Amino acid sequence: MTEFNSLKALDLGRRLLQRLDEAAEYSRPGPGVTRLYASEEHRQLLGLLSAWMRRAGLVPELDAVGNLVGRCPRALRGESALILGSHQDSVIEGGRYDGILGVALPLLALEAIREQGGTPVCPVEVVAFGDEEGVRFPSTLVGSRALAGTLDPAVLEGVDEDGVTLGEALLSLGAKPAGIPGVARDPSRVLGYVEVHIEQGPVLENEGLALGVVTALTGIERHSVRVSGRAGHAGTTPMQGRRDALVGAAAMVVEADRLLDSLDEMVGVVGQLSVRPGAVNVIPAEVDFTLELRSPDRERRLAGRCAIFDAMRSIAQERGLSISSAMTYEAEGVDCAEWLIEGLEQACQAEGQATQRLFSGAGHDGLAMHDLTDIGMLFVRCRDGLSHHPDESITVEDAGVATQVLVRFLTMKNQRLMAIQQA
């Protein structure tokens, strides 16, 4: 067959960015891309994605949970397949590469292989997951959890801000949510899962590298915290002895940030804060805020959590305040499979691309897919590490080499992959 080194990276890069520009048109009006799960924009995008799948030699099908799944003929015949993919949904006013890059790029890679008269070394599927961001409904990773067989049916009763349930939205999309249990895959029929994604961070850019190979996906936990003090007249209550909940909460936020800055492989943020009674001339009596903590290492995350909450309780005691909290979300970090890490590295080396191993500080569909199969992930450099923003950007050169690397990965011999197929 034709040597794939002859593929022109710039040509592939231009084709890929053109496709991503096309996909970005399927968005609500306004800055950036807003394409929510099971929305009209999602429904309209399905036609474009289906056309790309057919050009890649795949047969597209919308499953019961709103994922668009493209299968090659061998996968349609029931052979075990390698799953490639990512999510098609966006945050509100997000960028045009987050998620959808991992759908468009493997489809272009498969099309390039086909144009060269070749075939992948194993059966493949490409999945455009319906939901990963969890923006419209009070749930996340719905599409990938359904494939992994871990989706709680109760999520179908979740409602959006207009009172529409997820079940109703899926029917409007053209899916049949009653069939969701049948979406779950047999692990013995899945060879692995590989996702290409923009890094969403500055490491690759700082190192001057186009690509990175992911070793682990971060664990995430979220807490709601309430700090209670005592309201009072802002003009007549002496400063000394005030039980100002906002001043105490502010001290807690600053201390949490200081501690997080001192911890390795751990990040966190206070992203929401509300004050009551919220009057200009009243000492705040109560403050609610959120605390999110992330680390790929569970022990580091738990130790960091303990240090932060110990510090916040000390601040509350010093200021005569009370503090309460509740964990609202937790997802454990997962490791990428060493054989997929090595396979992606070998593909990078074969294409003359230096790379670096790094962990992902963001959650991805791999968090759910890990319950089904081995996972691997390839990061693509993004400008300024910016993501979830209209100015999200990758270069045509990086888009091209990433596509070439995936072509190489899908066409080179992988002993572990061959062994899994034969098992």
pLDDT over threshold 90, residue 211:
yes
Strand 190-198 with 322-331, pairing: unpaired
pLDDT of residue 4: 47
pLDDT of residue 14: 96
pLDDT over threshold 90, residue 12:
yes
- Cα separation, 80 vs 95, in Å, equals 34
**In CATH, what number is assigned to the domain containing residue 248?**
3.30.70.360
SS in 3 state form for the chain?
CCCHHHCCHHHHHHHHHHHHHHHHCCCCCCCCECCCCCCHHHHHHHHHHHHHHHHCCCEEEECCCCCEEEECHHHHCCCCEEEEEEECCCCCCECCCCCCHHHHHHHHHHHHHHHCCCCCCCCEEEEEECCCCCCCCCCCCHHHHHHHCCCCHHHHHCECCCCCEHHHHHHHHCCCHHHHHHHCCCHHHEEEEEEEEECCCCHHHHHCCCEEEEEEECEEEEEEEEEECCCCECCCCCCCCCCCHHHHHHHHHHHHHHHHHHCCCCEEECCCEEEECCCCCECCCEEEEEEEEEECCHHHHHHHHHHHHHHHHHHHHHCCCEEEEEEEEEECCEECCHHHHHHHHHHHHHCCCCCCEEEECCCCCHHHHCCCCCEEEEEECCHHHCCCCCCCCCCHHHHHHHHHHHHHHHHCCCHHHHHHHHC
Q: Is the dihedral of CA 183, 184, 189, 195 positive or negative?
A: positive
The mean pLDDT of 231-257, rounded to a whole number, is: 97
pLDDT of residue 54: 98
Phi, psi (rounded to 5 degrees) for 314: -65, -40
pLDDT over threshold 80, residue 1:
no
Domain boundary among 286, 312, 331: 331
Residues 401 and 264 in one domain: no
pLDDT of residue 413: 83
Domain boundary among 331, 357, 377: 331
Give percent of the chain above pLDDT 70. Answer: 98
**In CATH, what number is assigned to the domain containing residue 403?**
3.40.630.10
How high is the mean pLDDT of the chain?
A: 95
Q: Which two tokens stand for residue 42?
A: 């999602």
- Amino acid identity of 200? Q
* pLDDT tens column, 164-206: 999 999 999 999 999 999 999 999 999 999 999 999 999 999 9
Residues 15 and 121 in one domain: yes
* pLDDT tens column, 250-306: 999 999 999 999 998 899 999 999 999 999 999 999 999 999 999 989 999 999 999
Residues 239 and 188 in one domain: no
Domains identified in the chain, total number: 2
pLDDT of residue 7: 54
* pLDDT tens column, 402-417: 999 999 999 998 777 7
Strand 211-217 with 357-360, pairing: parallel
For 370, other C-beta atoms within 10 Å of its C-beta total: 20
* pLDDT tens column, 89-112: 999 999 999 999 999 999 999 999
Cross-strand pairs, 292: 222, 269
Full residue range of the structural domain in which residue 36 is found: 4-217+334-422
Residues 209 and 339 in one domain: yes
- Cα separation, 161 vs 241, in Å, equals 42
Residues 182 and 274 in one domain: no
Angle 287-288-293 (CA atoms, 0-180°, nearest 5)? 130
Greatest CA separation for the chain: 85
Residues 256 and 369 in one domain: no
- Cα separation, 41 vs 100, in Å, equals 14
Q: Which two tokens stand for residue 238?
A: 């002496």
pLDDT of residue 423: 64
pLDDT of residue 346: 96
pTM here is 0.87
Residues 343 and 277 in one domain: no
* pLDDT tens column, 315-370: 999 999 999 999 988 888 999 999 999 999 999 999 999 999 999 988 899 999 99
Residues 186 and 66 in one domain: yes
Residues 297 and 189 in one domain: no
Domain boundary among 331, 349, 371: 331
Q: Which two tokens stand for residue 184?
A: 């779950």
Contact indicator for 101, 95 with CB cutoff of 8 Å: no
Residues 77 and 165 in one domain: yes
- Cα separation, 400 vs 385, in Å, equals 19
